[in-house]
Amino acid sequence: MNLAIFPLPVYLLPGGITRLRIFEQRYLKMVKEAASGDGFVISLHREGNEFNISDWGSWVHIIDFQHGDDGLLYIDVQCQDLVRIGTVERDQDKLLHGDVQVCEHWPVQQANDDTQLLGEELNKFFDANPTYASLYPDPDFGSPVWVCGRWLELIPINYEKKRCFIHPDSFSKAINFLSTVIIEKT
Amino acid sequence: MTQAGTILLQNQKSGLHNKVMTNDNNHQQLAAWLADVANNRDKAAFTGLFRFFAPKIQRIAHQQFSNESQASEVVQETMSNVWRKAHLYSPEKGAPTTWVYTIMRNVSFDMLRKMKSRKEDNFSEDIWPLVEADNVETEVYPDHLQQNQILAYLDKLPENQKQVVKGFYFLEMSQEQLARHLNLPLGTVKSRLRLALGKLKQQLTEQDMGERDD
């Protein structure tokens, strides 16, 4: 599968939603093309390789859009899957396109005390941050995978550190990490 | 002409001529262009504003920063603010030039502040690169619409992509926000984060490193 790639410092796990501000409305067409049907890939910026993008990304679809008071277009995008990025090319419009392959992420997890507490804390965070909460019409505080994904997107650690949580077997590490930070343990 | 200027002017066969304007009708013309941008998102009018202001801003900013690319950044940022905020200008408030130069000053101040904060945050960069320094500014935007963080990244994007996405909803919390949310002192949150990262590092070391694809 070949998709447009947008290098952005946004960490999104499956289910995660973010809002992008499109600077010039005439580029709506370009975004539309990138987004029609197959969506596009948000990849973290990374120094070192040819196009300064990471070797993985979040495959997103546009789920909503609106015109802001500032006259700009805002699009809400949701991550469906994580993808591994293969060969990347720059087209004549200087947009990046890459061959991508879907990667598995965490399998479904059983809830336990920790995941429940993390869910409650996340629920509180939603209540306190209506703008953020408005991105998610259908929050799933009962799902350990959903809750941990949102927490990892929110938690202030650098992207390289967050990278280890993209592996399918990293769920227990994620729970350990989040519990240490968020749940008080004596 | 800056790169952004080139992009903005591309595809704009506006029929606008390089009229030589006298000082007397300068203000009138500039105010009319601002009104056209505000009301009709008129690109020809914006082109007029750009041609008038860009070289002047470039010159002033160049004196201030003694650096061509930073001066270009001031032009780019100032003019995109003019495009977005044109509706906030009204002739009663004063001359259009005063208004645009005020925007330019704010942009320059922001840049200077950012350069300074980057310098001061260098010491902790190995632990919290980028994010913490930038999050200081998210405090100003209670809706988390982070506008500045991306500018640093934008520099590295291909020109067209810069124009496509110029901002994003900043998902990540700052350490201060997390501390407030958990109702804990900032120091406690910082040490919890360090502890958690320490544990994580240990787990990763214990794992066969060969499995990881770095």
Q: Where are the beta strands (DSSP E) in B71-142?
A: none
| Alpha carbon distances (Å) from B91 to A174, B48, B98, B206 | 56, 18, 11, 68
Q: What is the ipTM of this complex?
A: 0.84
Q: Is B167 helix (H, G, I), strand (E, B) or coil?
A: strand
Q: Which of B121, B164, B213 to mutate to test the interface with A (most CBs of A within 10 A)?
A: B164
User: Which chain B residues have a beta carbon less than 8 Å from that of A85?
Assistant: none
- For A28-57, the pLDDT digits (tens) are 656 766 666 688 898 887 766 677 788 899
User: Which chain A residues have a beta carbon less than 8 Å from that of B209?
Assistant: none
Rounded distance between C-alpha atoms, residue B211 and residue B208, angstroms: 6
Q: What is the phi/psi pair of residue A106, to 5°?
A: -60, 135
With CB atoms and an 8 Å threshold, state whether B178 touches A31.
no
Q: Answer with the residue of higher pLDDT: A11 or B6.
A: A11
> Closest Cα partner for B123 from B111, B113, B132, B110?
B132
Q: Which of B127, B131, B137, B157 to mutate to test the interface with A (most CBs of A within 10 A)?
A: B157
Average pLDDT estimate for B86-110 = 84
Q: Answer with the residue of higher pLDDT: B206 or B152.
A: B206
Q: How confident is the model at residue B160 (pLDDT cuts 50, 70, 90)?
A: low
Lowest mean pLDDT among A145-159, B20-34, B123-137, B189-203: B123-137
By DSSP bridging, strand A2-7 and strand A40-43 are parallel
On whether the CB atoms of residues B58 and B45 are closer than 8 A, the answer is no
By DSSP bridging, strand A2-7 and strand A73-90 are unpaired
Rounded-to-10 torsion of CA A35, B147, A136, A119: 130
Q: Where are the beta strands (DSSP E) in chain B?
A: 145-146, 165-169
- For B106-150, the pLDDT digits (tens) are 888 788 877 766 554 433 232 222 222 333 333 333 223 333 444
Instruction: For chain A, say whether B47 makes contact (Cβ under 8 Å).
Output: no
On whether the CB atoms of residues A77 and A17 are closer than 8 A, the answer is yes
**Both tokens assigned to B175:** 């350490």
Lowest mean pLDDT among A31-45, A72-86, B199-213: B199-213
Q: Answer with the residue of higher pLDDT: B184 or B117.
A: B184
Structure pTM? 0.59
Residues A57, A63, A67, A68, CA torsion sign: negative
- The per-residue pLDDT for B110 is 81
